[in-house]
Structure 1
Amino acid sequence: MLRELRIKNLAIIDDLVVRFEKGLNVLTGETGAGKSVIVDALGLALGDRAQSDLIKTGEKEAVVQAYFELEEYGKLPDI
């Protein structure tokens, strides 16, 4: 389960930590607030290709970190 998403210097986001709880989590906000950027950041964390134009103007890099809780699924299989 996704527990936390950290985003830095991505599009319009300077520095953001989004924490997710069990159950339904909803992103709401006005147009241009950054909801789609959060969804795009999750895609990047899951393996989508990054585009350099997503880096916030004036910055050299963007950082996206996703933290998952895997305990409830037991031992992960060796591959």
Structure 2
Amino acid sequence: MLETLSIRDMLLIEAAELRFRPGLNVLTGETGAGKSILLDCLGFVLGWRGRGAVRAGAAEGEVTAAFALPPGHAAGAVL
């Protein structure tokens, strides 16, 4: 399960940390609020090729995700 998504200096986002809870998590907001940027950043940590851009004035951007696996989960063997 995705537990946190931390973003620094990506497009419009100077710094953000989202914490997810078990169950359904919903992102809402007005047009242009940055929902698609959040999803693109999640895609970066999953290995998608991105159209991402570093925020204007920043030397680099950073996206970090923390995942938790239940004991015995098959992905644990790969990791």
TM-score grouping bracket, smaller chain normalisation:
0.7 to 0.9
TM-score by length of 1: 0.87
Q: Which runs of 5+ in 1 are unaligned?
A: none
Cα distance change, pair 30–73 in 1 and its aligned pair in 2 (3 A): same
Cα distance change, pair 26–60 in 1 and its aligned pair in 2 (3 A): same
Please list every run of at least 4 consecutive aligned residues from structure 1 whose deviation after the TM superposition is greater than 4 angstroms.
none
| 1:74 has 2:72 as partner | yes
Cα distance change, pair 78–57 in 1 and its aligned pair in 2 (3 A): closer
Name the aligned partner's letter for residue 72 of structure 2. G
TM-score by length of 2: 0.87
| 1:64 has 2:59 as partner | no
% identical aligned pairs: 44
Aligned length: 77
- Give RMSD over aligned pairs: 1.7
